[in-house]
Amino acid sequence: MGEGKSDSDRRIGRRALLIGGAAAAAGTALLAREELERLYWRLPGVHKARVEGAVDFRGARWVAASEANFRWADRPDDYDVDMVVVHVTQGDLGSAVKAFEDPGHKAAAHYIVGRDGRVTQMVRELDVAYHAGNRSYNERSVGIEHEGFVDRPRDFTDAMYAASARLAAAVCRRYGIPVDREHIIGHVEVPGTDHTDPGEHWDWDRYLRLVARAHTAATA
């Protein structure tokens, strides 16, 4: 399960500062006004409007994570998205949902995939979820949790692999992410993490084949 202690601030991001500098250098009131209008919601206490209950993956159930567990953003306009991070909850679906709803948890992933293949979305892909324990990786990735325990291979069901693969393929299509192990990684591979998920029982070869198949089928 993700952790985001190092990514809890809500300062205006690097992209916003660069845009502001470009607007000033251009010396045009129109450009400056347009950029300020686009970025006003990044000021403290303001965030870009969201459609209540909207999901990014068709068929997903929406349950909102606590605002303490993610950062409002406008990806990919302010942060490029080029990675999917695979997690395991180390618990059942209900306990993971409760944890991400808890402001004291300080972490959440964008999605949770259940053993039965049902997908729950808790953070919009627009926003930066605190799931990887690394600020840069949080900003550039979508986090997918999987219900179960790393030491119980039976938790990784056919339905889970299939649903997660469709979800990962949809994310990869949306942001032009290559379907390979450099861009679809485990939490254990994030620099600085002390997590081991998804663990030795996660079948990466199978998962990447399924993601590639779903990706190809959607673009055919």
Encode 126-147: b = buried (16+ Cβ within 10 Å), e = exposed. bbbbbbbbbbebbbbbbbbbbb
Global confidence as pTM: 0.83
Report the range of poorest mean pLDDT among 26-35, 52-61, 86-95, 156-165: 26-35
Residue 218 binned pLDDT confidence (cut-offs 50, 70, 90)? confident
Query: CB–CB of 118/61 below 8 Å?
Result: yes
CA distance linking residue 155 with residue 148, whole number of Å: 5
What percentage of the chain has pLDDT greater than the value 90? 75
DSSP code of residue 29: H
> Which helix (DSSP H) or strand (DSSP E) does residue 20 occupy?
helix 14-26
pLDDT (average), residues 129-136: 97
Query: What residues have CB less than 8 Å from 202, skipping those under 6 apart?
Result: 86, 88, 150, 156, 186
Q: Cβ atoms within 10 A of the Cβ of 154, count?
A: 9
What percentage of the chain has pLDDT greater than the value 70? 78
pLDDT at 48: 72
User: Tokens in use for 181?
Assistant: 């192990």
pLDDT at 12: 39
Query: CB–CB of 13/73 below 8 Å?
Result: yes
Mean pLDDT for the chain?
87
pLDDT at 38: 58
pLDDT (average), residues 63-79: 95
pLDDT (tens digit, 9 = 90+) per residue, 172-196?
999 999 999 999 999 999 999 999 9
